[in-house]
Amino acid sequence: MSSVVSNGVAVFLIWLFAGAALHKVRAPQYYQRLISSWLAIIPDSRVLLWLVVLAEFGVVALLLLPGARPVGFGGAGALLLVYAAVMGWQYKMGQGEQTCGCAGPSSPLRVGPVLVARNLLCAGLAMLSPTLGCSLPENLVTAALALLAGVTLVSLYSLSDQMLASAQAMDEDI
């Protein structure tokens, strides 16, 4: 049963990082501006943007290969920790009104403690998953259960996006 959870987390992280990389590929100017505003010390945000895209697609590739999956989980966890740290720093520096870019350029989500906590939770899932095993599902039933677990995590993550956006919009109205 532990491999079902591990494979479900892999499905979720593949969705998360493939989507994140595709957002950046589709709207590079938006993400270059975002990187420049978050990390003003970076002289050329284009280079960093494409390094991040390569890292995100690299995590996806590693998670798709069972033999490389532990490294993929570690890479996913590390990226999520970096994203949490950058968002936490931005919030601490008083830039909580800035959009995070987490759900694409059109997302209204803004940097804040809840997004930092969500990234930390996702990083924890990624870091703990290799301890559950990284083998492919043994049969069709465990594959279906792993897929169901992954879809459940994707749904919870998407629901959290909607709840956070609604809460942030309600805060603006008050």
Would you say residue 114 has pLDDT above 70?
yes
Average pLDDT, the chain: 88
Q: Which helix (H) or strand (E) holds 103?
A: none
- Burial, 2: exposed, middle or buried (Cβ in 10 Å; 0-12, 13-18, 19+)? exposed
Would you say residue 34 has pLDDT above 90?
no
pLDDT of residue 173: 58
Averaged pLDDT, 158-162: 90
Parent domain of 12: 2-173
pLDDT of residue 16: 97
pLDDT of residue 148: 95
Total of domains in the chain? 1
pLDDT tens for each residue of 81-101: 999 998 898 888 887 677 888
Asked if 111 and 96 count as a contact pair (C-beta separation under 8 A), the reply is yes
Q: Which two tokens stand for residue 147?
A: 């897929």
CA–CA gap between residue 105 and residue 33 (Å, rounded): 11
CA–CA gap between residue 152 and residue 159 (Å, rounded): 10
Q: How many CA atoms lie within 13 A of 106 on its CB side?
A: 1
